[in-house]
Structure 1
């Protein structure tokens, strides 16, 4: 597949940048859709990008929600990898800030793809939230949940709803438009690991990285979080490997590490003590926190079987986050 052209959104995010480098390292050309010239400069300047600048081009799409905004961007592309999506954040209107942007941007790029016969496959970054049941039962990416109804009590609830609704609207698109290209959804659990674009301690421990490092950083979450987590490297790999022609389209792939025993968030403390004793002694990692581990029944083993891989374990995930955080702190 070397030399094929991918249109990619969201390439300045945690998952997006790692997926961008994965695609370039596999020989693909990438046209990155970004919101500004500043984002182009950021991607060009990043150290991991340097070997691949001749494979990388850009198109500015300042408002991804508008109809037709991707019409020029999709010209002559072989694949689309749509990663961009609103993250949970403070808002007075969750519907306008999170729900509708997630749906409209997805439908915008899909309808533009309909106009371009070169497009063979669209890969969409979804989430376990799109198929998450309300109880702790076992489930896979093929689970189907009812559409959520607002209002939403907080940004995280709205974010989870946006993933379900964007997924459902994409299924409607497939049924109604019957595109000649096929669609693959990637559904990861909490995505953690080194964020190569993060150059400050705050950025290195943002998003899911911050959640997972709660116990290590001396914080407490007695309410808890679902103990379902995966490494950003695995998420990026599955995105790009799913472009291979031997992989069936119009299907979902989950990414979630499950070992012989359930993930326990507080185990991160012992992992950090083992791998970073000097940093612990210096107070880089305060330790002493805790976070309740809620049951997680998400089985993504079929993805491992299809691609012949084993997802990185919880220890590798924590070492990746903590190692990068320690490096950034040392250089601050």
Structure 2
């Protein structure tokens, strides 16, 4: 089947990462069916891609954690990219708001694919560095993270943990659930998981207000809007650009070794917040007086990150931190202006 005939299901199509994934698959020539929670959201996503209206369709999935949530959405598609999973640190109930949606949503999609879409040969799942990172080890400067590492937090620990710990556990347990499904059910499809750390880059998804930004865009915006007077410690000093994350999804889907089950740590390198602020001060339109100033010599020693596998297996190259933060800032300024109109 040619690329132009293939329909790719992309879950959570209105998300920060998913918007870029949708764009890339459409540009490549695929037809895309996105899952969204409502027809209103579908309209917002459609408005981002007016030139692809003939190739972009939607399936409404109101709650990904519900049994059978994806049964209809998967029918007739040739490939699946699963990006839908909650990314938030401030929740009322870890189990209800993070753990169950992430784990059940993943399991529900794989079950639907197995039972209702036997033609699907490849599923790519958006996981996270959260599923790799050992939070209790902190900066762990003597260690270099690779695909072989796993976050050791358990479901029981995550139920009562702080927000970041529970979020990281939700990504870990969802990815583990996917691998367990593949191992026990032996479905027709192979699985690739994409594990990015902090994701920066242009904001192109639908955004209702500047206080409703995705977590990583908000992470940059707080250095631009005067809400910080000092540069805080860099909590997760590893990053990648959203366009590279999207590229990794496409390459993992199309890879020659797509017959294999693979895990990919998609990371550009280490970074620190003072570097982010340095770039922001050079972006036209950013009020330099609002960008906090800090001492660069106070950077701590931190863990290493290896992107050797994605470079060698997927042929990936990466945006520079400067380009990524500049493009993030410019997109935020543009969004700010648009929302004020």
With the length of structure 1 as denominator, give the TM-score of the two structures: 0.89
**Cross-structure match for 1:243:** 253
Query: 1:27-66 residue pairs with structure 2 within 5 A?
Result: 27-46=29-48, 49-66=49-66
Moved more, 13-22 or 297-306: 297-306
1:132 aligns with 2:120: no
Give distance in 1, aligned partners of 2:113 and 2:299: 41
The answer on whether the counterparts of 1:44 and 1:50 sit within 8 Å (CA) in structure 2 is: yes
What is the aligned partner in structure 1 of residue 174 from structure 2? 166
Conserved? CA contact 2:146–2:307, under 8 Å: yes
- Counterpart of 1:16 in structure 2 is 18
Secondary structure of the residue that 1:239 maps to in structure 2? Answer: helix
CA distance in structure 2 between the partners assigned to 1:307 and 1:94 by the alignment: 35
CA change 1:302–1:213 in 2 (3 A) is farther
Question: In the aligned structure 2, how far is the partner of 1:243 from the partner of 1:141?
Answer: 18
Query: Within 1, Cα distance between the matches of 2:67 and 2:187?
Result: 17
Q: Which of 269, 283, 289 in structure 2 is aligned with 1:275?
A: 283
User: How big is the shift at 1:205?
Assistant: 5.2
From 302, 305, 317, the equivalent of 1:310 is 317
Return the match for 2:5 from 3, 6, 18. Answer: 3
Query: Gaps (5+ residues) in structure 2?
Result: none
- State the shift of 1:217 in Å: 4.4
Q: 1:239 deviation in Å?
A: 0.7
Q: Does residue 194 of structure 2 align to residue 192 of structure 1?
A: no
In the aligned structure 2, how far is the partner of 1:293 from the partner of 1:318? 19
Q: Residues of 1 paired with 2:16 and 2:212: CA distance?
A: 10
What does residue 70 of structure 2 align with? 70
CA-atom RMSD, angstroms? 2.2
- Preserved contact between residue 204 and residue 328 of structure 1 (Cα < 8 Å): no
The answer to whether residue 265 in structure 2 is matched with residue 254 in structure 1 is yes
- Write the deviation string for residues 283-315 of structure 1: whole angstroms up to 9, x where unpaired: 6xx112559866242212321222223111110
1:213 & 1:17 partners in 2: Cα distance? Answer: 19
Query: What do residues 72-108 of structure 1 show as CA deviations (whole Å, max 9, x unaligned)?
Result: 2111211011100012253332111110110000000
Number of positions where the alignment pairs a residue of Structure 1 with one of Structure 2? 323
Of the three residues 279, 283, 287, the one matched with 2:291 is: 287
CA deviation vs aligned residue, 1:215-241 (integer Å, no higher than 9, x gap) = 444524544312111100000111112
Distance 1:29 1:293 in 2: 46
Name the residue aligned to 1:326: 333
How far did residue 165 of structure 1 move?
0.7
Structure 1 runs, 4 residues or longer, greater than 6 Å off: none
User: TM-score, with normalisation over the residues of structure 2?
Assistant: 0.87
Counterpart pick for 1:299 among 291, 296, 306: 306
Change (3 A) 1:153 1:119: same
Paired residues of 1:195 and 1:204 also in contact (CA < 8 A):
no
- TM-aligned CA distance change 1:60 to 1:309, over 3 Å: same
Give the whole-Å Cα distance in 2 for the aligned partners of 1:92 and 1:114: 33
